[in-house]
Amino acid sequence: MKLWGGRFTKPTNQLVDEYTASIRFDQKLAAFDIQGSLAHVAMLAKCEIISQKDADTIAKGLKIVAEKIENEEAELTEANEDIHMNVEKLLIDEVGAVGGKLHTGRSRNDQVALDMRLYLRDALVTITELLGQLQQALYTQAQQNLDTVLPGYTHLQRAQPVLFAHHMMAYVFMFQRDMERIIDSWKRVNRSPLGAGALAGTSFVIDRHYVAEALAFDGVTENSLDSVSDRDFVVEFLADASLIITHLSRLSEELVQWSSAEFDFIELDDAFCTGSSMMPQKKNPDVPELVRGKTGRVVGHLMGMLTTLKGLPLAYNKDMQEDKEGMFDTVETLKGALALFAPMIETMHVKKEKMYEAVAKDYSNATDLADYLVVKNIPFREAHAIVGQTVLYSIEQQKYLLDLTLAEFKQFSDAIEADIYDVLAPKSVVNARNVAGGTAKNRVEEQLKQAEALLEANHTWIKEKSTILQKLTLDK
């Protein structure tokens, strides 16, 4: 007999049991389900809805059940549908009928909403920790390469030289936005829905705020209908995760390109590459390639969740069981990618000479020749045309701009003098971009200083939230 089977005259079809059961995946919520139940039963006793003796018996039984599940000594079955019913069945087996009092004043609808928030809250702390480690690795590479010049690209064509440190800092700030989005989402995740019941609340005089405080929530959700049907926090996480892995994918693409013989700008450590079963010379950047490939998987989970929610009336519907697998998979996919990326970036070998050689053998200093002519009082549009003709001539002569003689330069403009060679030198071109956020060395140093403060603030937030969650675990 199922725990809810009193109204039914026959057992459910086995195919229905198999199709509707969620225990295969929602068992990930076991520790959080029990954590919430411990707070709930303490509240029931505090409000004198059940006796303190019964509450103590239930709490003791829940802790035994938690230990058995953790040690894989408990049998979780599809017959009991989900983690909530499995835990309750195991509890009743452990302490007897008194275990049935645990569900007083709550529904699986508000219970699962609580479990999901507890799970996601824990995942957000882990993800921010890993994201911070990646930012630190990028920051360190920037610090170590303040004098390394790299070709900058638009349309994957060489455009203007930049410092490699500048390029690394672009990703530091990109991931900082991701960090800030996750941190901001915490206030929407960290509210307790327990007490909303199935949809309308409960007739028992419970204390929702007591449970919220016991579980370190910032408060309770405001409306019972919304409480059990809201999955905005899941969608928001999936959207944030999609952006994070999209940013990882962009960086992955560059690592794959830079590792090729055609670029040869970096070499990834052997520990983060694989070989070929046929070609013994191969060293493949499989980690960034696979991260790039998994981007579609995460974005797909976001699209799936949005599509699931789009036609649902209030309040809870069975469709919402589809909220878990995508979220669980996204958490694991993102954690796996971030855990690999930080040490991969940290151990990456930067081929400074190859980068400089690439910059010295292109026309990415052409804009500086145009700017030079503008300083000589030539209108920019005219200067642009002069430089275009100069570049065309250089290509025909199989030369770069710095290879031209002064006489050759003067074919196109008498305004060009001998100081042009200093102006067009790669490091001069880089340091000429001396504007806030630019690639000049002193401006990149400013970015490093800005980032240092941001990373420290991130670390403080992560430490604070980790301490709160760790204390909850110890108290449990």
Q: Identify the pLDDT of residue 3.
A: 67
Q: Are residues 191 and 251 in the same domain?
A: yes
Check which CATH number belongs to the domain holding 397 and give it: 1.10.40.30
| 464-471 long-range contacts, CB within 8 A, separation 24+ | 465/124, 465/125, 465/128, 465/186, 466/125, 466/129, 468/216, 469/121, 469/122, 469/125, 469/216, 471/216
Is 438 a domain residue? no
Q: Are residues 113 and 100 in the same domain?
A: no
**pLDDT band, very low/low/confident/very high, at 475 (cuts 50, 70, 90):** low
Exactly one of 40, 155, 229, 413 is catalytic; name it.
155
Using DSSP's 3-state secondary structure scheme, residue 161 falls into: strand
Of 50, 73, 104, the one marking the end of a domain is 104
Q: How far apart are CA 411 and CA 425, in angstroms?
A: 21
Check which CATH number belongs to the domain holding 262 and give it: 1.20.200.10
Q: Are residues 264 and 119 in the same domain?
A: yes
Identify the residue whose tokens are 């938690």: 66
Q: Which domain holds residue 75?
A: 12-104
Specify whether the CB–CB gap between 310 and 257 falls below 8 A.
Answer: no
Q: Are residues 378 and 285 in the same domain?
A: no
Is 394 a domain residue? yes
The radius of gyration of the chain from alpha carbons, rounded to an integer in Å, stands at: 30
253 pLDDT above the threshold of 80: yes
476 pLDDT above the threshold of 70: no
Q: In DSSP terms, which residues pair with 220 in a beta bridge?
A: 192
As for how many domains the chain has, the answer is 3
Is 183 a domain residue? yes
Of 75, 104, 133, the one marking the end of a domain is 104
Mean pLDDT of 59-88: 95
- Residue 245, burial from CB neighbour count under 10 angstroms (0-12, 13-18, 19+): buried
Question: How many percent of the chain have pLDDT more than 70?
Answer: 99
Q: In DSSP terms, which residues pair with 284 in a beta bridge?
A: 274
Q: Identify the pLDDT of residue 6.
A: 82
Q: Are residues 43 and 119 in the same domain?
A: no
Whole-number Cα distances in Å, 152 to 144, 254, 359, 441: 19, 12, 9, 15
Exactly one of 276, 364, 384, 466 is catalytic; name it.
276
Estimate to the nearest angstrom the gap between the alpha carbon of 466 and the chain centroid: 17
The pair of three-digit structure tokens given for residue 1, joined into one six-digit string:
């007999």
Q: How far apart are CA 457 and CA 464, in angstroms?
A: 11
Q: Identify the pLDDT of residue 1.
A: 63
Question: How many percent of the chain have pLDDT more than 90?
Answer: 92
Q: Identify the pLDDT of residue 17.
A: 79
pLDDT-wise least confident of 6-15, 39-48, 173-182: 6-15
Q: Are residues 373 and 452 in the same domain?
A: no
Q: How confident is the model over 405-452, as pLDDT tens digits?
A: 999 999 999 999 999 999 999 999 999 999 999 999 999 999 999 999
Q: How confident is the model over 321-351, as pLDDT tens digits?
A: 999 999 999 999 999 999 999 999 999 999 9
13 pLDDT above the threshold of 90: no
Is 441 a domain residue? no
Check which CATH number belongs to the domain holding 85 and give it: 1.10.275.10
- Does the active-site annotation cover 192? no
**pLDDT band, very low/low/confident/very high, at 246 (cuts 50, 70, 90):** very high
Q: Which residues contact 209 (CB under 8 A, 6 or more apart)?
A: 219, 220
Q: Are residues 113 and 227 in the same domain?
A: yes
Q: Are residues 94 and 118 in the same domain?
A: no
What count of residues does the chain have?
476
Q: What is the mean pLDDT of the chain?
A: 96
Is 2 a domain residue? no
pLDDT-wise least confident of 164-168, 257-261, 279-283: 279-283
**pLDDT band, very low/low/confident/very high, at 27 (cuts 50, 70, 90):** very high
Is 259 a domain residue? yes
Q: Are residues 115 and 49 in the same domain?
A: no
- Residue 422, burial from CB neighbour count under 10 angstroms (0-12, 13-18, 19+): exposed
Q: Identify the pLDDT of residue 2.
A: 72
375 pLDDT above the threshold of 80: yes
- Does the active-site annotation cover 276? yes
Q: Identify the pLDDT of residue 20.
A: 79
Q: Are residues 171 and 33 in the same domain?
A: no
Is 181 a domain residue? yes
Q: Identify the pLDDT of residue 16.
A: 84
Q: Are residues 60 and 182 in the same domain?
A: no
- Residue 266, burial from CB neighbour count under 10 angstroms (0-12, 13-18, 19+): buried
Q: How confident is the model over 150-208, as pLDDT tens digits?
A: 999 999 999 999 999 999 999 999 999 999 999 999 999 999 999 999 999 999 999 99
Of 51, 75, 104, the one marking the end of a domain is 104
Estimate to the nearest angstrom the gap between the alpha carbon of 105 and the chain centroid: 36
Q: Identify the pLDDT of residue 21.
A: 83
Q: Are residues 118 and 205 in the same domain?
A: yes
Mean pLDDT of 350-361: 95
Mean pLDDT of 24-41: 96
Is 287 a domain residue? yes
Q: Identify the pLDDT of residue 7.
A: 82
